[in-house]
Structure formats: C-alpha cells, structure tokens
Amino acid sequence: MTELASRLDDVAQRFDAAVDRANDEQALESVRVAYLGRNGEVTTVRRAIGTLAHNERPAAGKLINDAVAAMERRLQAAYEELESRSFDAELATSIDVTFPSIRRPAGSIHPVRRIIEESCAYFVRHGFAVVIGAEVEPDYYNFDALNIPNDHPAREGFDSFWISDTLLLRPHTSPMQIRTMQEHRPPIAIVAPGKCFRRDAVDARHLFQFHQVEGLLVAEGIHFAHLKGMLTGLCRELFGEQQNVRFRPSYFPFTEPSAEVDTTCPKCKGAGTLKSSPMGCNMCGGSGWIELGGAGMVHPNVLREVGYDPDRYSGWAFGFGVERLGLARYEVDDIRRFTKSDPGFLAQLS
Ligand code: FA5
C-alpha cells in the first residue's frame, strides 16, 4: 500500500510537470492520454491494487480515485487557461467593434460661405433671385454704366487689377446691377454674391481679394424706407434680434441719395466701451458702430443707361463686404484670418 501510494505520488508529480509544459490543446490532450487514458500511467498503478491484501484494496481504490479527480481538475483548469490565453491573443489582433471610435476631425462650412448663404437665404425668402456674375468685367460694367466715366475721380477709389486697357478683375459686385437690368424689365429683385479684387494694401481690415453681397430692387414706387427695412432685417438675421442699423450720408456715383451702412457693434452692443477694456471697445474703436458697406437709391443716370424710365421706376441697391460682416459677427480681430484656412480658427466659428 505504501509503495502504491508513493508510485501514485510520483505519477501525480510528473503529471503536474507535464501539464505545466503543455502550451497548446494538443499537448494537453497527449498528457491526458499518457496519464489518465485507458492504458495510461494511472491505469498501471490501478492494476497494482490486485497485488494488495483484500483489506487494503478499498483504501487504495479511494486514494487512486481522489488522485484522478485532482488530476482531472488540474487538466480542466489548464484547458480553461489555454482557452482564455488564445482569446486574449485573438482580441489583440482583431477589431473590437464595440470599442468607442476615435473622432475624425470633421470639416465645416467656411464662415465667409456661411454668411453668403444666410444673406442670400434671407433675400430669397423675400422673393429675390440669386445671380452670379463674372469676376472679370469690362470697365463699362464696372464704371461707365454705373455713372463713373473715365475721368471720374471715384475710379481711384476702386484701385483695380487691370488685365487689358478695358478689362479688369471686378473691384465690386455692382456690375451685376447693370447686367441684370439689361437682361430683364422691372420689377427686379436680385442678390449677387461674389469675389472682388482691389489693389488695397492688406491689413487687419483690408484684403486684395474679398467678397461682397450686392442687392438690387427696382420697381415702381420703391423708396428709401424699403432699403432701410430690408437691410435692418438682414442685420437682425446675421447678428441677432436686437441689432440696429444706421445710415450715414455718403457718396457713390451710382446711387443718390447714398449712404454708408453701419450696424450696432456686436461686441460692445453699441456702448462703445467694454468692462474688459475701459479705453473703449476694440472692435468698433469706441464708436459703438461697425461699417458694413454702401447703399442708396439707384441713380437716374444708371436707370437711363439700361433703358429704364427714371420717372416711372425707382430702386435701391447695396453692397456689403462679406469678410467685414464676418469680423463683426464673429468678433474676429483680423480680416486675414478668413484667408488662412487655420483649422483651429475655423473650428471655433463652426
Ligand atoms: C462699393 O464697393 C459699392 N459698390 C457698394 C455699393 C453698392 C454702394 C450698391 C451703393 C450701392 P465700397 O468701396 O465702400 O463700396 O465697398 C463696400 C464694402 O466692401 C466696404 O464697406 C467693405 O465692407 C468691403 N470692402 C471694400 N474694400 C475691401 C477690402 N480691400 N477688403 C475687404 N473688404 C473690403
């Protein structure tokens, strides 16, 4: 009996060592067959029971059964361990579809485009059509037809990029007034957004390439109050409900009377001062107003040029700088930011 017990002990120790060495299922199965199989080592020990005295056999049988149960438990644990290790390895090389994804940076609509779209949408809601014009125009459309003859000093205000003696990159969107009126009879209600080009020195408020939104309404009985109403509405659309609009007398050869259009500074809300800057609001320079562009009643000479009778028809027009609208709307300190495509800046405004 003692000898059987020590043989069993020896078998169990070698079994443990063999299980430790087995690093895949096939190797574990070989260990199982070698020790617990029909002709395995435990069977050989079990056969030795027959050599024991009758009264020793039950105890020997129990000893062997207990050892087999322990070995089977050990084997089971080893199988489970192998399984979980191979699952971990599989996970490490496979895609976990439940894992939260990495956020890909999404692009956004550029603020200049957004302002153009919102401005156009406002006018379209009021029955206006959107028209897009060429960026290269003859001087006739840029100047002559707009009541700015060749020797007119106002041409100097539009310091332009000339392509030939008569062709230039348009310095404003106003040629679209002429093109539209030549093509259509009144009533006319259009809005014309687009790029403009001027040989201006670039600084915090000026670009050599910028955008304007032009508007034109010509019909019978149109007067200045219509212009004020529409532009006040546009400013409220872009800047919020409390926004006011101011018309300062000004001069454009193609409108009479003419005005420069200001809106309440969105930063200081018209106060001209800021708690954070007692020297005065740095957005509007302390005036409480931001200039957006020019406007006025279409000059009779312009109406005549396109064959409209100025005694019957009247109209208003305006041209706003889109980047200037952006400066005011987003409280941006420098107009050049709109041209830099800096994702950090654009994300802030998206
Ligand atoms: C004009 O261009 C007129 N065509 C506007 C107009 C249309 C008046 C219809 C009456 C009737 P002005 O040169 O002021 O006007 O330019 C209008 C606006 O364009 C300016 O107030 C400003 O907002 C913008 N702008 C002009 N030059 C630049 C520039 N270099 N960089 C950025 N914005 C500019």
Give the model's confidence band at 89: pLDDT under 50 very low, under 70 low, under 90 confident, else very high: confident
Instruction: Give nearest CA residue, ligand 1 atom 29.
Output: 206
Please check whether residue 64 lies inside any domain of the structure: yes
* Residue 284 pLDDT level (bands cut at 50, 70, 90): confident
Average predicted confidence (pLDDT) for the chain: 92
Residue 208 and residue 284 in one domain? yes
Distance CA 333, CA 3 (A): 96
Compute the distance from residue 293 Cα to the ligand 1 centre, in Å.
Answer: 5
Domain match, 139 and 273 both: yes
Domain shared by 131 and 90, yes or no: no
How many angstroms does the Cα of residue 22 sit away from the middle of ligand 1?
Answer: 84
Examine the domain organization and report whether 62 and 145 are in the same domain.
Answer: no
Where among 65, 94, 123 does a domain terminate? 94
In this structure, the answer to whether residues 48 and 116 fall within a common structural domain is: no
| DSSP 8-state secondary structure symbol assigned to residue 48 | G
> Which residue type, as a one-letter code, is found at position 192?
A
The one-letter code for the residue type at 230 is M
Flag whether 191 is in a domain.
yes
Q: Is residue 153 part of a domain?
A: yes
Residues 74 and 214 in one domain: no
Is the C-beta atom of 315 inside 6 A of ligand 1? no
User: Omega of the bond prior to 111 within 30 degrees of 0, cis?
Assistant: no
Mean pLDDT, residues 325-349: 90
Q: What percent of the chain has pLDDT over 70?
A: 100
Which pLDDT band, with edges at 50, 70 and 90, does 248 fall under? Answer: very high
The pLDDT, as a whole number, for residue 265 is 84
Alpha-carbon gap, residue 340 to 136, rounded angstroms: 24
Position 115 in a domain? yes
The answer on 207 and 343 residing in a single domain is yes
Domain end, chosen from 37, 67, 94, is at 94
Q: What does the pLDDT look like over 8-19, one tens digit per residue?
A: 899 999 999 999
- Note whether 209 and 155 are same-domain residues: yes
Which residue, 331, 318, 319, is CA-closest to 290? 331
Does residue 103 form part of some domain?
no
Distance 176 CA to ligand 1 centre (A): 14
Return the higher-pLDDT residue of 311 and 328.
311
The backbone torsions φ and ψ at residue 225, rounded to the nearest 5 degrees and listed phi first, read -65, -30
Same domain, 116 and 166: yes
Rounded to two decimals, the pTM is 0.73
Bridging pattern class, strands 245-252 and 255-264: antiparallel
Reduced to 3 states, what is the DSSP secondary structure of residue 299?
Answer: coil
Q: Is 172 in the pocket of ligand 1 (CB under 6 A)?
A: yes
Cα Rg, the chain, nearest whole Å: 44
In a domain, 102, yes or no: no
Distance 317 CA to ligand 1 centre (A): 12
Structure confidence at residue 275 as a pLDDT band (50, 70, 90): confident
What pLDDT score does 229 carry? 95
Please indicate whether residue 309 or residue 105 has the higher confidence score (pLDDT). 309
Q: Output the pLDDT for position 153.
A: 79
Q: Quick one: DSSP state of residue 178?
A: H
Q: What pLDDT, on the 0 to 100 scale, is given for residue 63?
A: 92
Q: Which of 94, 129, 148 is the last residue before a domain boundary? A: 94
Kindly write down the DSSP assignment for every residue of 244-259, as one continuous string: -EEEEEEEETTEEEEE
pLDDT score, position 328? 86
CATH number at residue 320: 3.30.930.10
Phi, psi of 283 (to 5 degrees): -80, -45
Confidence grade of residue 80 (pLDDT, cut at 50, 70, 90): very high
295 neighbors 231 (Cβ within 8 angstroms):
yes
pLDDT at position 212: 98
Confidence of residue 4 (pLDDT cuts 50, 70, 90): confident
Indicate the DSSP class of residue 5: H
Domain span at residue 279 reads 111-349
Read off the pLDDT of residues 23-45 as tens digits, 9 standing for 90 and up.
Answer: 888 999 999 999 999 999 999 98
**Residue from 161, 163, 142, 167 nearest 152 by CA:** 142
- Asked if residue 237 is part of any domain, the answer here is yes
Q: Let me know if residue 8 belongs to a domain.
A: yes
The answer to whether the beta carbons of residues 305 and 177 sit under 8 Å apart is no
Of 148, 187, 222, 215, the residue nearest 308 (C-alpha): 187
State the distance from the centre of ligand 1 to the C-alpha of 323, rounded, in angstroms.
11
174 lines ligand 1 (CB under 6 A): yes
Asked whether residue 41 falls in the same domain as residue 152, the answer is: no
Atom of ligand 1 lying closest to residue 322 CA: 23
Residues 263 and 317 in one domain: yes
SS (H, E, C) 211-245: EEEEEEEEECCCCHHHHHHHHHHHHHHHHCCCCCE
Gap between the Cα atoms of 145 and 121, Å rounded: 28
Ligand 1 site, residue 207, Cβ cutoff 6 A: yes
Choosing from 228, 324, 334 the residue with most ligand 1 atoms within 8 A of its CB, the one to mutate for a pocket test is: 324
Give the chain's domain count.
2
**Tokens standing for 81?**
């361990």
Shared-domain flag, residues 40 and 117: no
Q: Point out the ligand 1 atom lying closest to the alpha carbon of residue 215.
A: 9
